[in-house]
Chain A
Amino acid sequence: MTISYQLKRADFIFKNQNDWEEVLSKSISRTPQELINELISSELKGRGGAGFPTGLKWKLTAEISDSTKYVICNADEGEPGTFKDREILSMVPFKVLTGMAVCGYVIGAKEGYIYLRGEYFFLLPELNKIIREFEYYCKEIKFDFTIRIFMGSGAYICGEETALFESMEGKRGEPRNKPPYPSNYGYMGKPTVINNVETLAHTYTIFKYGAKRFYDLGVQYSRGSKLFSVSGDTPKPGIYELELGMSLADFVEEFGDGDTKAVQVGGASGFLVPRKRFNETAIGFQGKLVGISLPTGGSMMLFNSSRSMFNVLDNYLEFFREESCGQCTPCRVGCQQLLKGIKAVKRGEKNTKYLDKLLRLTETMKLTAKCGLGQSVANSFSSIVENFREEMIY
């Protein structure tokens, strides 16, 4: 099936943030219910990759009665091939802070935290300065909201929301069992909204222009625009804001180098799409609209024919083996088994049927791993092994 959506550029995120004072004061003059409705009708979904409806998230947290709640901005941008949050935080930080403050207003939280990736330490001085300015304005308009930055220490797993809470609480960064979800039991056991940097920046757009402006972009189930971090074998790597719902074929047409063999959508935990499926793959959240829709946190890695898919997979598995927190069996041992397994097949120590065993193993990991990391290893593994089996063997 061919998808007819064209690639459409958008320009909201990085556009002028100078009216943040107005957006903030205007937003908090509305009722929380109005703001939630605005978000829900925009159909904004989480931009970190998982795609949970943002309005619903705020609504659920707002409905819990508790005198202490938190807003957390997840800036632990660790997915390989993603570099958009860094750009947002250095170009339009006020949009993010405004999004956090409005969220605080909606759910009844007075404290916000930015969990900043350890490697983004260089952003800290400037961000702190901006936060001071922001808090000063909040005080001026008698709006009680403070923001603190919490520095991560370089663990990929701490981008998982519950591991992030643990890390902030001074514990080892390990995902918790879910449920309970953050809306009930988040940071310090309190109701918490945790949103990706980009999600918060989009709420700014929605509160500024209204839900319709946002809703009109994209396609059904995947509304709005999204930042894409384009890397790999492309003549124009960088960050691009595009409407959701485009076909991968159009994307490759625009960004490929003419020899694109495959695209990894969504980073190491995402899916690899081979050339023969470009036409039937759309970039967006799962819906019933078209063939395959792939969600993504924005990482788009292009590979041309000079790349060995074995090396790509080997690289990903090495990454997961290192970055698994190690608490649950399927992920701790499974990742290592997958890595050793493909190497053994490549060296001829195991016959090729072993690949099928490994595929079954990834199925079990998907079913039993405790958090998204262990569950999503299956994505890249099976999509690479199934589509480039010969490269795994020869």
Chain B
Amino acid sequence: MEMINLTIDHKPVVVRKGATVLEAASGIGIDIPTLCYMKLEDMNIENKPGGCRVCVVEVKGRRNLAPACCTEASEGMEISTHSIRVVNARRTVVELILSDHPADCLICAKSGNCDLQDMANHLGIRKIHYQGEHSMYREDTSPAIIREINKCIMCRRCETMCNDVQTIGVLSAVNRGFQAVVSPAFEMNLDHSVCTYCGQCVAVCPTGALTEVDETGAVIRALSDPTKTVIVQTAPAVRAALGEEFGMTAGTLVTGKMVAALRRLGFDYVFDTDFAADLTILEEGTELLNRLSAFMAGDQQVKLPILTSCCPAWVKFFEHHFPELKDIPSTARSPQQMFGSIAKTYFADKIKVKRENLVVVSIMPCLAKKYESSRPEFSVNGNPDVDYALTTRELAHLINLGNIDFKSLQNEDFDAPMGESTGAGVIFGTTGGVIEAAVRTAYEIFTGKQLPRLDFEELRGMEGLRKATIDFNGTPINIGIAHGLGNARKLLEEIQAGTSEFHAIEIMSCPGGCIGGGGQPYHHGDSEILKKRQRAIYSEDQNKSIRKSHENPYITKLYEEFLGAPLSEKSHHLLHTKYFDRS
């Protein structure tokens, strides 16, 4: 590897050729402040438009200042990162951004988590010397995402996520000059666009320009209504990240504390979406086996590969972009919706509460879940199966609001019957998890034998596209895994072209799967956090006494008492769905 010698703030540095000044500086512990720059190392995601001009540094011999994030280090460079000239320019640039910002930090959803606020603090800006005008744009509200464009600083991170990573192409810069802003085409509203509500734009937005639709108020009203029975379900990825909101290190599992906190908040029953994940595996796994058996019996009409369907952003993605493939994904509803539908039938009957008086709240790492719960096919007579879907961040707000000392809570257990889950349900929270859970069950049903091992390392990891072949007692099953919709698109194009070698494919919209969801605590560009959350998920799986969905006793009971068998008529009615052409 060719190496480059340069000096930064009089310190000699040696870096590989091609490294930026920013990378060179951070290598020797010099922090150059950045705002628009973002890099998720393990996922190959980088945003460096050189737009904000906060990271400018002085390069000896250069007329103007150079942006450190996108200036390549070259031999003999002499760089000052914090000279008076640099600091003055940097402060002026941030002042300019602030001069076109509403600065309503007191009531901003992003306050305390805002990169712009941090930057202003870091540079000690106490006065804005320039007072021109504020750009005014109308607010855009969709079922999941709110765009408060007055707060947009044109960092273009959302654009990178939407276009390069997810290949959706909804968000891009429109207009020129002072009117330039990131928006859907023709400044349309998000809900008129092909947005999947994956929420990756929200996950990376440095300011309050993109935030989730906040439903905490509605949940508080439901909790305070004595006529309502309010139950809650928590998605697997939430427990691996919620602790971060309370200053705990990333990757701390807080399942028991989370349950305790939800009880303190006044939820009548605290359940687990993992239970519904186990249910999903039985439905989806059976579907997979049926299709496989038909295929092996020579049926040429059977649709293979089968695609998972638990990610609502992914569902909306193929409805928009690959409507001709809408028969291929499993018809199984997502765990959230399975839970809602079982809760408002089976469980409501059990506790003798009328459907209208049962409020189902879900805690999700996701923004698309808000949209999913609002889809009309998931409601009965206008009463939705899931009433409110809160994000991990919203739950943290509620816990703070309830003055609950989260860190010192004693662990508590979920309620029965919909709180019991297996390790297979837990790993739904990470990329590769759903398919691993499905394999554990499908293998045993297909072969009639006990699995010799439960950890399928070949399905795990962080690469955007992975494949593995699992031996089903002599029958090789080819499995594909994609996370990030850009990667999913590649697999779908193979299916379209008829060249796909897979029998089953798992797709998750967000990089990393649900642990990297748009509703999770902000990772601020640190992909190490995602890896820690992933490890936490797998360790919860390890510690479970039951690790295969079909061995969940409450699931068995549910089928005995209520559903009959997987893919029964009742299952079809309550646990399956159909897809629409939205192209």
Contact = CB atoms under 8 A, between A and B. Distances in A.
Interface of A: 155, 157, 172, 174, 177, 179, 320-330, 332-337, 339-341, 344, 357-358, 360-361, 364, 366-370, 375
Given A177-B70, A337-B130, A330 B96 contact: yes
A307 B364 CA distance: 65
B53 A324 contact: no
B172 interface: yes
Interface centre among A322, A332, A366 (most CB of B within 10 A): A332
Contacts of B93: 329-330, 364, 368
B447 interface: no
A315 B181 CA distance: 23
Contacts of B71: 177, 179
A361 B172 contact: no
Contacts of B51: 327-329, 370
Given A323-B177, A329-B51, A339 B132 contact: yes
A157 B177 CA distance: 10
Contact of B52 (A172, A329, A335, A339): A329
Nearest to B173: A172
Contacts, number: 117
Interface stretch (B84-92, B499-507, B514-522): B84-92
Given A332-B180, A333-B96, A340 B50 contact: no
15 contacts: A177-B50, A177-B67, A321-B177, A322-B177, A325-B177, A327-B156, A329-B51, A329-B154, A332-B180, A336-B178, A339-B132, A344-B131, A361-B130, A364-B93, A375-B64
Nearest to A349: B131
A322 B89 contact: no
A328 B177 contact: no
B462 interface: no
A155 B56 contact: no
Contacts of A174: 173
Given A329-B51, A361-B92, A375-B64, A337 B99 contact: yes
B85 A367 contact: yes
B175 interface: yes
A326 B180 CA distance: 5
Nearest to B35: A329
Contacts of A360: 92
B178 A367 contact: no
B178 A335 contact: yes
A330 B53 contact: yes
A366 B178 contact: no
Contact of B65 (A358, A361, A368): A368
Contact of B176 (A325, A333, A368): A325
A360 B172 CA distance: 32
Given A177-B71, A364-B89, A375-B64, A324 B130 contact: no
B567 interface: no
Contact of B53 (A336, A341, A370): A370
Contacts of B52: 328-329
Contacts of A157: 176
Contact of B154 (A322, A326, A335): A326
B352 interface: no
Nearest to B175: A326
A380 B410 CA distance: 68
